[in-house]
Amino acid sequence: MTARVFMFMAVFCLLLPSPAPGYDVKALEAEAYEVIQAFTQELKAELRAGLKAGGPVKAIEVCREKAPQIARSVSAKTGWTIGRTSLKLRNPNNAPDAWEQGVLENFQLQAREGAKPGSLMFSDVIQEKGKTVFRLMKGIKTGGLCLKCHGSQLSPKLKERLVDLYPYDRATGFKAGDLRGAFTLEKQL
């Protein structure tokens, strides 16, 4: 770990509230990982079906309509709140809060230093609005499926649809292996 990444992490951790004692963080991380797996499996299946039915233009609509539904469904089944966020947003409804922004910036620094985006993870037990909450973020690596709508080689029809649906889209130009963003989860303890 470079001195710059270490320094950023040290300052970031000092700004966070102290974790509440008595929680099995490893067990919570394992639970959160299972929630991510359930969400991604369902979303990937929907995206593949959308791509098969109508190409990347249809896949954008799947992400816009189905991803939030899948997140709500998985959240209702598991008791976890799950979403996605990024430093380069497509959907402004997914904008990071202050905690998420700090984690994303740290992930970006680590990725620039050579860390694999899909291996990046950060969690903490914090006090939020008078409640004890476990929060976790896990990096999303840009894969081949992502590049259909988030890469550099987008068709004019796709670009036009993106402008229609997301006039402030900043989520293109990614390459395979880039840090696309992160899953963000929380659970009240």
Round the average pLDDT of the chain to a whole number and report it. 91
The residue extents of the domains of the chain are 24-188
Tens of pLDDT, residue by residue over 45-73, are: 999 999 999 999 999 998 999 999 999 99
Q: Is 109 exposed, middle or buried (0-12, 13-18, 19+ CB in 10 A)?
A: middle
φ, ψ of residue 58 to 5 degrees: the values are -70, -35
Residue 7 has pLDDT above 70, yes or no: no
C-beta separation of 67 from 52 below 8 A: no
| Tokens 């993106």, located at residue | 162
Question: Cα separation of 137 and 134, whole Å?
Answer: 10
Tens of pLDDT, residue by residue over 80-100, are: 999 999 999 999 999 999 999
